[in-house]
Chains A and B, each alone.
Chain A
Amino acid sequence: MSQLTLALADGAVVAKRNLIKIKRLPEVLIWTTMSPIMFVVLFAYVFGNSIQIGGGVSYREFLIAGVFVQTVIFGSTFTGAGLADDMTKGIIDRFRSLPMARSAVLVGRTGSDILYNSISIFVMTLAGLIVGWRIRTSPLEAIGGFLLLLLFSYAVSWIMAYVGLKVSSVEVVQNASFMFIFPITFIANTFVNQDSLPGPLRVFAEWNPVSSVAQAVREAFGNTGGLPEPDVWSLANPIPYTIIWVGIILAIFVPLSVRQYKKTTSR
Chain B
Amino acid sequence: MAETNTGGALLANETEGGEGVTDMIRTSGLVKRYGKVVALDGLDLAVPKGTVFGLLGPNGAGKTTAIRILTTLLEPDEGSVEVAGLDVRKKPGRVRERIGLSGQNAAVDEHLSGYENLEMVGRLYHLGRKRSRARARELLDRFELSEAGDRPAKTYSGGMRRRLDLAAALVAEPEVLFLDEPTTGLDPRSRVQMWETIQELARGGSTVLLTTQYMEEADRLAEDIVVIDRGRKIAHGTSDELKTQIGGERVEVVVASSSDVPAAQAILETLCVGDCQFDEQTRTLTAAVDGGVEALGQVLRRLGDRNVAVVDVGLRRPTLDDVFLSLTGHAAEVADSTDGSSDGSEDERSDVREKEAVR
Contacts and interface: CB of A to CB of B under 8 A. Distances in A.
B124 A98 contact: yes
A99 B96 contact: yes
Contact of A21 (B105, B111, B123): B111
Interface size class of A (residues with CB under 8 A): 20 to 34
A96 B72 contact: yes
Interface stretch (A87-95, A109-117, A218-226): A87-95
B74 interface: yes
A89 B125 CA distance: 20
A99 B74 contact: no
B96 A17 contact: no
A98 to B, nearest CB: 5
B169 to A, nearest CB: 9
A17 B93 CA distance: 22
Contacts of A99: 93-94, 96-97, 124-126
Contacts of A24: 111-112, 152
Contacts of A6: 126
A244 interface: no
Nearest to B109: A91
Q: Considering residues A16, A89, A93, A104, which has the most beta carbons from chain B within 10 angstroms of its beta carbon?
A: A93
A20 B103 contact: no
Interface in B49-77: 71-74
Contacts of B103: 90, 93
A98 B123 CA distance: 10
Nearest to A98: B124
Interface in B86-128: 93-94, 96-97, 99, 101, 103, 105-112, 116, 120-121, 123-126
Contacts of A25: 111
Contacts of A91: 107-110
A17 B111 CA distance: 9
B116 A17 contact: yes
B327 to A, nearest CB: 29
B94 to A, nearest CB: 8
A104 B73 contact: no
Interface residues of B, number: 28
A20 B116 contact: yes
Contacts of B108: 90-91, 94
B106 A90 contact: yes
Nearest to A97: B101
A94 B112 CA distance: 14
Nearest to A86: B109
A201 interface: no
B123 A93 contact: no
A115 to B, nearest CB: 16
A104 B124 contact: yes
B145 interface: no
Contact of A97 (B71, B106, B112, B126): B71
Interface in A74-96: 89-96
Interface in B123-142: 123-126
Q: Considering residues B72, B94, B120, B152, which has the most beta carbons from chain A within 10 angstroms of its beta carbon?
A: B120
A251 interface: no
Contacts of B125: 98-99
B228 interface: no
A6 B107 CA distance: 23
Contact of B124 (A20, A90, A95): A95
A29 B106 CA distance: 27
A21 B120 CA distance: 13
B93 A97 contact: no
A130 interface: no
B30 interface: no
A23 to B, nearest CB: 9
A89 B73 contact: no
B123 A13 contact: yes
Interface of B: 71-74, 93-94, 96-97, 99, 101, 103, 105-112, 116, 120-121, 123-126, 152, 168
5 contacts: A89-B109, A90-B105, A91-B110, A93-B73, A94-B101
